[in-house]
Amino acid sequence: NIKGFIFDLDGVLTDTAEFHYRSWQKLADEENLNFNRQINEQLRGVSRMQSLEIILAGQEVPTAQKKEWTDRKNEYYQEYLAELTKKNILDDMEAKLHQLKKAGYKLAVGSSSRNAKKVLKNLQISDLFDTISDGNSVERAKPAPDLFLHTAEVIGLEPAECVVLEDAESGVEAALAAGMIAVGIGPAERVGKAHLVYTSVSDIDFEEVLTKI
């Protein structure tokens, strides 16, 4: 019996992936690191430091240097966030959120991003959610189930009562590991392990989600 929905942020409610990409690219150009759009695809849903590890591909770098690089990347990213507005909400997600809320479902955000609260504030949808879990909420990032389990606990639901909407492979894995229903958004190669898959956010049909699972 489904009682709540947990939304990933980047790739589900908004598309900040392009801003993450440009910020990493700028850092990579400055520091002569190998980076491109293809490598960027692997960073979907992955935490900031883990993203740098993927870019470094085994190259050894002192911890202090890594910290300075991730901090700098985040400064570039925050410059983009300053320009983020309601217009950046993906498709009709806001209308869909209102419908679910009206129908009595609990709504939450479960994002790997430490900037999630700022992003939601700029999108002007923070108030729609019963709780917002982000990259600061738990230690172990997706694909560990911790973030989603923590979110369910805060809103007082059992894992099996929650549906997670995710665009990242690591996020789908986290939802499944948490014992929740996973709805994947994107190509089957990426989110095919989910219980139900939609190609894009605009295709999500919540009536169908609730009847099919």
Binding site for Mg ion (CB under 5 A): 8, 10-11, 45, 167-168
Structure token pair of residue 82: 């300053």
Sheet holding 181-185, edge to edge: 131-133, 106-110, 4-7, 162-166, 181-185, 196-198
Residue 18 or 208 having the CB closest to ligand B16: 18
Tell me if residue 29 is catalytic.
no
Q: Is 74 an interacting residue with respect to ligand B16 (CB under 6 A)? A: yes
Tell me if residue 8 is catalytic.
yes
Which one among 19, 27, 35, 44 touches ligand B16, defined by CB under 6 A?
Answer: 44
Distance CA 200, CA 23 (A): 24
Query: Dihedrals φ, ψ of 107, to 5°?
Result: -125, 140
Residue 192 or 212 having the CB closest to ligand B16: 192
Q: Is 125 an interacting residue with respect to ligand B16 (CB under 6 A)? A: no
Structure token pair of residue 79: 């410059």
Q: In one letter, which amino acid is 20?
A: H
* Shortest distance, position 1 Cβ to ligand B16, whole Å: 27
| Contacting ligand B16 within 85-104 (CB under 6 A) | none
Binding partner selected for residue 115 from Mg ion, ligand B16, none, CB under the kind-specific 5 to 8 Å limit: ligand B16
* Shortest distance, position 171 Cβ to ligand B16, whole Å: 6
* Shortest distance, position 34 Cβ to ligand B16, whole Å: 18
* Shortest distance, position 148 Cβ to ligand B16, whole Å: 11
Rg of the chain in Å (alpha carbons): 17
Binding partner selected for residue 122 from ligand B16, Mg ion, none, CB under the kind-specific 5 to 8 Å limit: none
Contacts of 113 (CB under 8 A, 6+ apart): 9, 10, 16, 119, 134, 135
3-class DSSP state of 5: strand
Residue 74 or 126 having the CB closest to ligand B16: 74
Contacts of 123 (CB under 8 A, 6+ apart): 13, 14, 84, 85, 86, 88, 89
**Interface ranges with ligand B16 (CB under 6 A):** 8-11, 20, 43-48, 51, 74, 111-115, 135, 168
Give catalytic residue positions: 8, 10
